[in-house]
Amino acid sequence: MFGLFKKRSQPKPLRLMAQSAEDVTPIAALIQDAALRGVGLNYDPKARHFMLRMNRFCHEQVTSVPLRAPCVLQIHSVLKVRSRGIDLKRRVQALSVLTMEATPREDGAYELLLTFAGAQGNQLCLEVECLDILLMDLAAPHRAQSVPDHNIED
């Protein structure tokens, strides 16, 4: 599967794990501006597993050509999923990740908040028993059609 990464000029595929709130910060930075469709959101309540399949913008790569890498963000030990502005059953919606934050709760569990671009305040809130998150590249990066722009006018 990762035979595409054998060129010396290609970096190794990302494979990062988060098990604490501090571990979530670098993963959040790597998935900022990731693009996905509703079909890329998958929640299995019986397995207590939530997965996002997306194309992340390769902020960590300093190249003259913008790159995106297909990746998956796996979140385990999910107790509950709430959404605002996102219909988990609508498979054709286009989404772009802005940030991900982990907040500890008094009972020892965590609230994981994923915020997406959009005027509606698009968010997914996952209640997780513990932080068990994996970000994994699925293939070599490919040329991106555009570069994310975060110009915010006052």
Written as tens digits, the pLDDT of the chain (154 aa) is 455 555 556 667 889 999 999 999 999 999 999 999 888 999 999 999 999 999 999 878 777 788 889 999 999 999 999 999 888 887 778 899 999 999 999 999 999 999 999 767 899 999 999 999 999 999 988 788 777 776 655 4
pTM, to two decimals: 0.86
How many residues does this entry show for the chain? 154
Instruction: Give domain limits for the chain.
Output: 12-142
Residues 23, 117: Cα–Cα separation, whole Å: 23
For the CA atoms of the chain, what is the radius of gyration?
16
